[in-house]
Amino acid sequence: MTPTQLRAFHLVAESGSFSAAARASGLSQPNLSSQVTALEQGYGVRLFDRRGRTVVPTETGRQLHGITTRLFGLQDEARALLAGEQALTRGHLRIAADSAHHVVPIMAALRDRAEGLTFALAIDNSAVVLDRLLRHEADVAVMAKSVSDPRLHAVRLRTDRVVLFVPAGHGLSRRDKTPLAALAGQSLVLRERGSITREVLEQAMAAADVQPGAIVEVQTREGVREAVAAGFGIGAVFASELGDDRRFRRVLVTDADLNVAEYAVCLQERWRVSLVRAFMEEAARQAAV
């Protein structure tokens, strides 16, 4: 194993293909391919599954990617320290978030400071977002999940509120507020387990001994909206995400605390990496506004 082989593997794992890694690094595609092949043959392992022009890390490759992310993250940190780097100029930041709403303003602020920055944003529920961060598949995360883990550094961004929404013709559409008991026997359209909106609403109903009717489980926010619009039941969403959609009426729950805090999170070990630190500091700045 050589540093060159590890770097080649890391570049390909980050880019998702040999051609993209070659373009991003300025190295030739045959050179990257030969380095990765030598690493695989040297240890008798397969690090990537080739799928047409793209590659996907195997389980061994995924674990190695976590190691190389830490390895080259420390290298970048050392370079920044020795160079006395104070300002951002370029770099690629991998972000996992449970919603685009809170994270895009931070990305935009960083882009305005340095046009050479690039971003990859993955949206999923909070449980998956946290898992991606801990597996080193994301550099930073934004999620509505409070964590007390010494491995993590978190900044509280702001508080949002889970609200209900119904089609214009629904029985609750004539109200803008309702007690939680109004959900008894009602069909609900909710995200998959691991979603904070679902977790908060179900905990509140359990505490109030409110038993809903059928629960329609949908994997995406867009799917929830379309299912609610089609009359499958009452939906739940963060107030900031509902937007101005004339198909729906927002309904506040009056007798339950459905407020949820949103956090920006990174691994403690990566806090000193300049781009990670810049993201977290921008998150703190926006939280203070």
pLDDT 10s digits, 172-202: 988 899 999 999 999 999 998 888 899 999 9
pLDDT confidence of residue 14: 87
Predicted pLDDT at 86: 52
Closest CA to 283 of 149, 161, 112, 104: 104
Percent of the chain with pLDDT over 70: 95
Report whether 250 contacts 237 (CB < 8 A): no
Q: Rounded to whole angstroms, how far apart are CA atoms 52 and 47? A: 16
Q: Please give the structure tokens belonging to residue 258.
A: 């459905």
Structure-model confidence comparison of residues 289 and 112, the more confident one: 112
The pLDDT, as a whole number, for residue 186 is 94
- Rounded to the nearest integer, the mean pLDDT of the chain is 89
Confidence check: pLDDT of 84 > 60 = no
At 77, the pLDDT band (50, 70, 90 cuts) reads low
Residue 112 bridge partners (DSSP): none
Residue 24's pLDDT is: 80
**How sure is the predictor about 269, in pLDDT bands with cuts at 50, 70 and 90?**
confident
Q: What integer is the mean pLDDT of 26-37?
A: 90
Give yes or no for residue 258 having a pLDDT over 80: yes
**Matching CATH number, 158-260, of 3.10.20.30, 3.40.190.290, 3.30.470.20, 3.30.450.90:** 3.40.190.290
CATH of span 1-86: 1.10.10.10
Q: And the tokens for 268?
A: 């403690």
Query: In the structure encoding, which two tokens stand for residue 230, read together?
Result: 């089609």
Domain ranges of the chain: 1-86, 158-260
pTM over 0.75: no
**Mean pLDDT over residues 155-181, rounded?**
91
Query: 18-27, 104-113, 221-230 — which is least confidently predicted?
Result: 18-27
Read off the DSSP letter of residue 270. G
Spatial CB neighbours of 127, under 8 Å, sequence gap ≥ 6: 145, 193, 194
**What is the pLDDT confidence band of residue 121, given thresholds at 50, 70 and 90?**
very high
Residue 277 contacts residue 271 (beta carbons within 8 Å): yes
Is the pLDDT score of 289 beyond 80? no
What pLDDT score was predicted for residue 88?
Answer: 62
Amino acid letter, 121: L
| Mean pLDDT calculated for residue range 236-255 | 90
* Of 66, 262, 286, 263, the residue nearest 153 (C-alpha): 263
